[in-house]
Amino acid sequence: MDFDTPAAHVQDADLDGYVEYEIDVEKVLRQELPGVVDSAAIAPLTLDAIAALPAKAKGAYVLFEDGHPVYAGKTDTRHGFRSRLAKHHNTIQDRQGLDPARIGFKAVRIMVFSNFDVEAILIKALREKDPTALRWNFSGFGSNDPGHNREAQEPADFDKERPIDIDKLIVSPLQGRLVGVLELLLSLKDQLPYTFRYETDAGANGRPSHHRLGHADHREAAPIQLPDQPFTVRQAVQWALEVLPSGWRATIFPDRVILYREATPYPYAREHLTAE
């Protein structure tokens, strides 16, 4: 006996009363997963909606902008839906030309996951259906910080198309207070949904000290009286620059802000801020 079905294969083992049966799980996923995704409702990509997902659940997911699929991905045991979607939620905040309220998601938990490339299955199916779908998949969206010498590397297409917005008002816990420069920088670093990095003192081994220690110039600068109302990152950085010694400069990249005592001509900088 030797025959194929859409989802299984049976082999004769030449033993009476015994056969071998193997389910073609990948074939089942190719046939059924796109339809399962189609049938699911789109949820808003909010922290509440993400937190409602089962803990450590893994599988495949799709992000949508105005109902149009823009990104397909998968999770694993280490990074379940909550972890991965929370990272994406963070990425879409404070971006020029991107309204987080227009971004949604569908997540499909796959109990028999193994090493099947469900991401590739979804990408193929969704692009065959609509060639304009999943434009974020090959744009650098969702990639990790490039690490060493990152400021000299060309930004991802997603970051160039949807750069961070330093002119968006933020509600700060420091509003209305007289604060030191380091306290203001720490608050921005903790609150902002994108990388904000600043120079620190050199440690005993010559490497930069922890960001919470800051730089001597931060600790010795005159305090800043913050307004009672929300303010922008541009304003906050400018206020810090006004009380820091000369030589400090903020550099704005498509995906991050750095504040260093330097004049490095970064090739992919969008703008620089200095004391007025």
Q: What are the tens digits of pLDDT across the range 231-250?
A: 999 999 999 999 999 999 99
**Residue 107 phi, psi (nearest 5):** -125, 130
HSE (side-chain half, CA atoms, 13 Å) at 142? 20
**Rounded Cα gap, residues 188 and 259, in angstroms:** 12
Predicted confidence (pLDDT) at residue 57 exceeds the cutoff of 80: yes
Q: What percent of the chain is modeled with pLDDT above 70?
A: 91
Region 119-129 average pLDDT: 94
Q: pTM for the whole thing?
A: 0.86
**Angle between helix 25-39 and helix 118-129 axes, rounded to 10 deg:** 50
What pLDDT, on a 0 to 100 scale, did the predictor assign at position 242?
98
What pLDDT, on a 0 to 100 scale, did the predictor assign at position 161?
96
Band of the pLDDT at 11, cuts 50, 70, 90? Answer: low
What pLDDT, on a 0 to 100 scale, did the predictor assign at position 5?
47
Band of the pLDDT at 114, cuts 50, 70, 90? Answer: low
Region 51-58 average pLDDT: 93
| Residue scoring higher pLDDT (48 or 20) | 48
What pLDDT, on a 0 to 100 scale, did the predictor assign at position 73?
94
Q: How do strand 68-74 and strand 59-65 relate by DSSP bridges?
A: antiparallel
DSSP state for residue 265 in the 8-state scheme: -
Predicted confidence (pLDDT) at residue 80 exceeds the cutoff of 50: yes
Region 146-155 average pLDDT: 74
**Rounded Cα gap, residues 121 and 198, in angstroms:** 42
| Residue scoring higher pLDDT (203 or 246) | 246
| Residue scoring higher pLDDT (27 or 186) | 186
User: What's the chain's average pLDDT?
Assistant: 90
What pLDDT, on a 0 to 100 scale, did the predictor assign at position 177?
98
Structural domain spans, the chain:
14-129, 159-273
Q: What percent of the chain is modeled with pLDDT above 90?
A: 75
